[in-house]
Amino acid sequence: MELKFTLNGEKRQIDVEPRKLLIDVLRDDFGLTSVHSGCDTAMCGACTVLVDGKPVKSCNLLAMQVQDSEVQTLEGLSNEHRMKILKKSFLKNHGLQCGFCTSGMLISSFYLLKKGRESDDDEIREAIEGNICRCTGYVSIVKSIREADDILNKTSLEELEMKGEGR
């Protein structure tokens, strides 16, 4: 079947088997290997991507379900200012050990910071509840997200707008 969608800002068109999962189309057909598979029951969040701006588990969707939608993977968010700050903070605060959960964690936290938050740790913890990390115990991840948010809050809206990334 023919799937038309926007992937990381580009219009794409591809012939896919109707049963094929979105995760497999992203990884196999487009080589987007930031998207990881950690379970087969939509429970670990390693495969999280944005569909029309919202975090979605790409192992839990048939590719055909994103017909006409916009899909963004970690690769496609690399120019976003917020994502850059988040990545820096994950590196600085060791928000990753093995790094397998990291893309999914970054996507979920990017979504949280983009929609804005009250800046308490509980909200951060809830935002990444769907992403399991077996290595870090979450402490350094929560810290990474909190610190990125603090930095972003200090960066004035004007600066963001100058960079062309204001809301």
Partner 1 sequence: MSTFEDKVNGRGLFIDDVRLPDMQYVAFFRSEYARARVKHVKADFTSRDLQGIAAAAGEGSESDVRTPFREPILAGDVVSYVGQPIAAVVGRTKYEAEDKLSEVEVDYEPLEPLVDPEGAINSEPILPDAESNIIAENYLGKDFNVDASVVVEERLYIPRILTNPIETRGLVAHYDGNNLTVWISTQSVYSIKEAFSRSLSLDPDKIRVIQVDTGGAFGLKGGFYPEYAVVALISMRTGKPMKWIESRSEHIVASRPGRGAIGKIKLYADTRGKVLGLKGDIIVDAGAYDTGMGSFAASYIAYQLSGPYAIDRQYIHAVSVATNKAPLGPYRGAGRPEAAYFMERMMDQLAKRLAIDPIDVRLRNLSSSSFVSPTGLKIDPARPFFERALREMEYERYRGMKPGVSFFVLVPAASGGEGCKITVRDGLVHVWLGGSTHGQRHDLLVSKIVSSELGVDRGSIVYELSDSGELSKGIGAWGSRTAIVGGNAVIQACRKLKDEIVKEKGGYSPSMLTDLNKSVEVFADFRGSLNSFGANLATVQINELSQVDVLDVVCYYDVGRAINESVVREQIEGGTIQGIGQVLSEKLAYGKDGQVLTSSISDAGVLRSTDFRGRITVKIAEFPSDLPHGAKGVGESPTIGVPPAIVSAIENVSGVKILNTPIDPLSLTRRENE
Bridge partner residues of 13 (DSSP): 4
Binder of residue 91, out of ligand FES, partner 1, none (CB less than 5 to 8 A by kind): partner 1
| Interface pattern 4-43 for ligand FES (x via CB under 6 A) | ---------------------------------xxx--xx
Q: Which stretch binds ligand FES (CB under 6 A): 2-10, 61-69, 127-135, 150-158?
A: 127-135
Distance CA 42, CA 2 (A): 25
Cα dihedral 140→71→78→93 (10° resolution) = 0
Residue nearer to ligand FES on the CB measure, 43 or 152? 43
CB of 100 to ligand FES, least distance (A): 5
Q: What is the DSSP string of 5-47?
A: EEETTEEEEEE--TT-BHHHIIIIIT--TTS----SSS-S-TT
The residue count for binding ligand FES (CB under 6 A) is: 21
